[in-house]
Chain A
Amino acid sequence: MTETIALIKSLADRYGRTRDALMPILQGVVEEERYLSDVAMTEIARELDIAAAEVYGTATFYSFLDTVPRGKYVIRVCKTITCDMHGKKRVIEKIEDLLKIKLGETTQDKKFTLLTTNCLGWCHKGPVMLINNTPYPDLNEDKVTEIIMEYIRK
């Protein structure tokens, strides 16, 4: 908790304490802690001197600003039309099978979270997934197995 508070203070020092600093601060916290806890959101509100509801309202609007705990590696598989045409469903099933979780869930060891997202801009090389900040295009069942196994070993 003290770590979170210190993190928020340093982010506010860096981005300022005006309303337009809110997004960079929220993103900074997610980057470090993988999600925005209630403690983090109330602390940000205090730091910027705005209502906690305002922080919560902004945070919950954006799909990349998670308000529930996420794994160390967040896997986001593109679910839009061309990735679907080229076998996104089988890729997701393979990941579910490998990690023993369903879509939307986090593994027990808090290492992986499996989500879908809208277009990642790799429509010519679908299906594609994003693991934290790295895109992996041209997926099939074999390739996704290889990638996930590599992360499991990490």
Chain B
Amino acid sequence: MTKHKQIRIALRNCGVIDPQAIGEYIARDGYQALATCLTKMTPEEVIDQIKKSGLRGRGGGGFPTGLKFEITRKSVSDQKYVVCNADEGDPGAFMDRSILEGDPHSVIEAMAICGYCIGADKGLVYIRAEYPLAIERLKIALEQAREMGLLGKNIFNTGFSFDIELRYGAGAFVCGEETALIHSMEGLRGEPTFKPPFPSVSGYLGKPTNVNNVETFANIPVIINKGAGWFSAIGTEKSKGTKVFALAGKINNVGLIEVPMGTTLREVIYEIGGGIRNGKKFKAVQTGGPSGGCLTEKHLDTPIDYDNLIAAGSMMGSGGMIVMDEDNCMVAVAKFYLDFTVDESCGKCAPCRIGNKRLYELLDKITQGKATMEDISNLKNLCTVIRDASLCGLGQTSSNPVLSTLDNFYDEYIGHVVDHKCAAGQCKALMKYVVIDENCVGCTACARNCPVNAISGEKKQVHFIHQDICIKCGACYDRCKFNAIEIQ
């Protein structure tokens, strides 16, 4: 695997140190940044460094982190909170889990720095129940940090106190949205509310709350140690530093990578990712999970950063990249994401609750080959209505997978509707198993294995599949040793 394109900042310790030994973290400059901040810098100076570094939120929104710290600092209150959003739920993303499992102290240290900046003595990590190992590692790390006096009262004899509590999610994707996350911690249903007020002004229990994602926090100690200038020299004009991407799908090298902002998709997929599995042809890469869209061949040389991805009709999201090859039907992909959204919509606002369900039904109709051209125009309309009228980020972006596949793969939609064909051969309803007469030797293997007796033919005679009976299970295709059955 080519490694030279990668720079590890957020992942600097993952796989290198024993996450359950605080000594190993400290040996690699761990808690050095916290010491520097507390003993040599004022909170304003720390915030200034983070602002100058150009760090933007890695959870997907891309809000400037230093600015968020500053706003929370300026909010006047007797109590403030630092919250780490570890409710990573995007299909395809697993960098937060890996950081928490591999380097939990980097997040703890950064949260304490954030507490110092904004004037909070309490931090909360909201972590999803689906990540039991990360929870375990965090618990151990917190205990060790307390024992060493790196959390608790009067840290480094500076009078600064800070401690962190864990809060667990319970399987609700929408809780990754910050207002929903806060409500969940308050013991309410995890439904989002309208912003403003932003959490920086009124968050957990109505107090100013600074919410940042795991990967964002993991960058902060390095920025303090190496300086804002070092950090901002990496990346593009408006997106500084590196981004962790999770490669998955039909690609040779799967797993996490960390590359400077501005790296092209081609470098990620072909040089680092080792190209498409089984020598197949690249079709698209889905970024940003259910809120993002597809990037295609024409985007391969676009430098990846927040703004370019949005211009290309997708978004950074938390950094999941699911690679699709020629066997993936893009309508089915869009349907897949909508199925996810329908599942995870909290149901509070009607455009998201009802609209996405209708969107899913339209896509289902298309993959069944039962849709008309009118359905396609309804699909487009509905997408824009849901986008414009939904309350939170989930609904506002849920139609992106549909809009971007409509944009980039319109002919596939038309293929399903007009020709009743799925070019990728993924949509079962549109598939047809047929016998290739020249290859069939009449061995009867297919007929014997067909669970619904849809295949007729005498021994040593060419067989025939009755389409009205066939349930498209593919058993005949799997059993035929003579390549005499094809999928149309």
Interface residues of A (CB under 8 A from B): 18-24, 26-27, 57-58, 61-65, 80-82, 84-85, 117-126, 130, 133-135
Contact = CB atoms under 8 A, between A and B. Distances in A.
Contacts of A20: 185-187, 205
B94 interface: yes
Given A63-B170, A124-B254, 16 more contacts: A24-B168, A27-B129, A61-B172, A82-B92, A118-B173, A118-B344, A119-B90, A119-B91, A121-B88, A121-B131, A123-B92, A123-B93, A123-B254, A125-B254, A130-B130, A135-B132
Contacts of A117: 130, 171
A122 B285 CA distance: 18
Contact of A118 (B168, B205, B343): B343
B346 A61 contact: yes
Nearest to B134: A121
Contacts of B343: 118
Contacts of B160: none
B133 A135 contact: yes
Contacts of A123: 91-94, 246, 248-249, 254, 320, 322
B67 to A, nearest CB: 28
A81 B246 contact: no
B248 A57 contact: no
A42 B199 CA distance: 32
A154 to B, nearest CB: 18
Given A58-B188, A118-B89, A121-B88, A23 B167 contact: yes
Contacts of B170: 23, 26-27, 62-65
Contacts, number: 115
Residue from B91, B246, B286 with most neighbouring chain A CB atoms (10 Å): B91
B463 interface: no
12 contacts: A23-B170, A24-B167, A27-B168, A57-B189, A62-B171, A82-B92, A82-B249, A118-B171, A118-B340, A119-B90, A119-B92, A123-B246
Contacts of A126: 248
A85 B205 contact: no
B130 A121 contact: yes
Contacts of A24: 167-168
A85 B250 contact: yes
Contacts of B250: 85
Interface in B309-350: 320, 322, 328, 333, 336-337, 340, 343-344, 346
The 4 closest A-B pairs by CB, nearest first: A22-B187, A62-B170, A63-B171, A64-B171
A82 B187 contact: no
A134 B246 contact: no
B62 to A, nearest CB: 21
Nearest to A117: B171
